[in-house]
Chains A and B, each alone.
Chain A
Amino acid sequence: MSKITERLTRFPLFGQKTVRTGMRYLLMILFAFLMFGVILLIAGIDPLKSYEDIFSSTLGSAYGFSEVVVSMIPMLITALAVALPFRVGLINIGGEGQLFIGAAFATFGALTFPNLPAWLLLPLMALLGMLGGALWAFIPGYLKSIGLVNETITSLLLNSVAPKIVGFLILGFWHSPRDTVRTPNFVDAARLPTFFGTRVHLGLVLGLVLLVIFWFVLKYTRWGLEMGAIGSNPQAAKRNGIPLAKYLVIVMCLGGAIAGLAGMVQVSGFYGTLFPNFSMSLGFMGFMICWLAGGDPLGIVLMAFVVSVIYSGGNLLQLTRGLPYAVINILLAFTLFIVLARPNFFKGKRS
């Protein structure tokens, strides 16, 4: 193993620390698979065959791989929606709600202006989605900036409100003539373009570009520096003339806008329609991924990939092994537990 490590470290992209961290994560994930295997055994299912299914269906074919990438897209964006506010010490657990409102705003655009050309309609929907998410995040951001209520509590409460508003809008105004629980299918101009005949859509590019911008802003701009200062000591930052309240509100709204964009990407790129529980906990998933990756952009991509492999594999577990789809959550949870617990066993030698 050390030889591989050595060889990799010759390339500047992989520092020795990165390789060691990667190895540690790999071990932890393997361990999670082992534990889930035990659960499968108890349930009377052959774990080896199941894993073969999971991996051959996700990584074994180009189509399977493309499906993994598709389910990864919204997670990348919702994770970023948590990572950005976290830089200034804000805990945005409201991604779920912001995603819902963003999707609702974008849907409004798609249903109101079906005759616009795609090059006009799609940016409009994206802007609307971001506006919706930002508005939803403004409430906790503002309340926090004036020192009134903790943003964790408010954004959590608003998470429960947003899906109900979406349900109200669909049932009351937007449902299609035939089906009361979802909107009509969007017109083609309101759908994000897809690549190479797969379901991978432009949202992937959006997500990756946003992550790169995030990385760049943090590393090379004054804003990144000031945000870091606020994150590590808000009072000191304030005394040094950084406008604290303004930063808190703006960064929280930006986080909300990003989560709202994830909502737009999901309805426009993936479903092409809006229905009440379209999210499947994507906002919460983003929170987990961001936390596992420590807010690091590259880590977010990797963790989102792992989570997506697990989730996409779950479909097959349901089809071929007769297990409820939800069971795959156990594997996800084991991975999360192990990474969160960071047992000493997995820690490499400290340099």
Chain B
Amino acid sequence: MTLLSILGVLSSAIFSGTSLLYTTLGEVIDERAGIVNLGLEGVLLVSASSGFAVTAISGNPYLGILMSMLAGGLMNMLLGYLAITRKANQLASGLALMFFGFGLSALIGKPYVAVKIHSLSRFLLPGMASLPLKYSSLFKFDVLIYLVIPVAVLVWWLLYRTRWGLSVRAVGENADTAFASGRNPRLIRYQALFVGGMLAGLGAAHLSIAYTMNWTENMTAGRGFIAVALVIFSKWDPLRAIVGALVFSGAVAFQLLLQSSGVQVSSFLLDTIPYILTLIVLIAWGGNRRHSAPAMLGRVYQGSE
């Protein structure tokens, strides 16, 4: 195993981890407001396909990213209508959204299968210019990668240091109390869903426009569910989500490393590690109140008219 292969694996882990982290941050905001978005997989697919289509048509990847964010936000509005306004069950609504995403993305993406696009330009990590080309090419990242950690910090700041963030968390803990203190739980939930959807859209945009640079049906391959697990793993905290995304993509990288060094370990079994880790972490916290989910998570706000 050479240094080059190790660096190569790390580089690809950063690429795959980025979209995961954006998506997870989006789901953190949704769930902080008390809404579980099980349809994340569908949201990602629609965002990835529509963003890719716009990039292919306009030749401008930044327009594509904007489209992805918009699509993510709008998909979440659909969930909002069902789960907030119509008071439908969140899990069932989320799954319906997932099936919708499977279908809609296949329809949107169909003309763009195997189309080549102008991707985001990649910049060399500062201080790496002196390296030989075969090394330095591994340290070229696009702007979305450089922005992902600042965005995570921004989301943390938004949730814990702003009035809006307080409202979101209050609605997620106890919507009735939030209502009594003069907030509008429904509106706040809608807002949280829209912001969360835009972040998920960013993650999807990075996947299709910047990383793989193509569209294939069902290309997210379960990332939506990984993000839902990651939110739990990171205790609904945006900063811990960074660690969580590192663990997940690190596990992927580790598995690639083992394979490249010829060690025979089933990639299937290694893939289960992050989920089992999440399960163990959950059990270890037990019923500890401090670590538990937002109290209203998954519950319908009945309102007080």
Interface residues of A (CB under 8 A from B): 39, 43, 91, 93, 143, 147-150, 152-154, 156-161, 164-165, 167-168, 171-172, 281, 284, 287-288, 291-292, 323-334, 336-337, 340-343
Bound Cα distance from A143 to B100, whole angstroms: 33
Given contacts A168-B269, A284-B95, A340-B92, contact A157 B279 (CB under 8 A): yes
Q: Is the CB of B106 within 8 A of A326?
A: yes
Residues of A within 8 A of B228 (CB): 156
Residues A330 and B104 in contact, CB atoms below 8 Å apart: yes
CB-CB under 8 A from B218, the residues of chain A are 326
Asked whether A341 lies within 8 Å of B81 as measured between CB atoms, the reply is: yes
Inter-subunit contact B107/A324 (CB<8 Å)? yes
Is the beta-carbon distance between A154 and B107 smaller than 8 angstroms? no
11 contacts between A and B (CB under 8 A): A91-B91, A149-B286, A161-B276, A164-B269, A172-B266, A323-B106, A323-B107, A324-B110, A326-B217, A329-B106, A334-B100
Grouping DSSP codes into helix (H, G, I), strand (E, B) and loop, the B interface class, with mixed when no group exceeds half, is helix
CB under 8 Å from chain A, chain B span 184-211 = none
CA distance A326 to B107 in the complex (A): 8
Given the complex of chains A and B, what is the CA–CA distance between A157 and B275 in angstroms? 6
Whether B232 contacts A153 by the Cβ 8 Å rule is yes
> Taking chain A's interface residues, is the majority helix, strand, or loop, or is none over half, making it mixed?
helix
Which residues in chain B, 103-120, are within 8 Å of chain A measured between CB atoms? 103-107, 110
Contact present for A337 and B282 (CB under 8 Å): no
Interface size on B, residues (CB 8 A): 46
B74 within 8 A of A: no
Chain B interface (Cβ within 8 Å of chain A)?
38, 78, 81-82, 86, 88-89, 91-93, 95-100, 102-107, 110, 217-218, 222, 225-226, 228-229, 232, 266, 268-269, 271-272, 275-276, 278-279, 282-283, 286-287, 293, 298
The answer to whether A154 and B279 touch (CB under 8 A), given A39-B107, A284-B98, A341-B86, is yes
Which residues on the B side are within 8 Å of A325 (C-beta)? Answer: 106
A160 — which chain B residues lie within 8 A by C-beta?
Answer: 222, 225-226, 229, 272, 275
Q: Is the CB of A148 within 8 A of B283?
A: yes
Residues from chain A with a CB closer than 8 A to the CB of B271 are 164
Beta-carbon contact of B225 and A329 below 8 Å: no
Contacts A160-B225, A160-B229, A288-B96 known; A327 to B103 CB distance under 8 Å? Answer: yes
Residues from chain B with Cβ under 8 Å of A332 in the complex: 99, 103
Partner of A168, one of B110, B222, B266: B266
- Contact (A330, B272) CB under 8 Å given A287-B91, A287-B92, A342-B88: no
Chain A residues whose C-beta falls within 8 Å of the C-beta of B278 in the assembled complex: 157
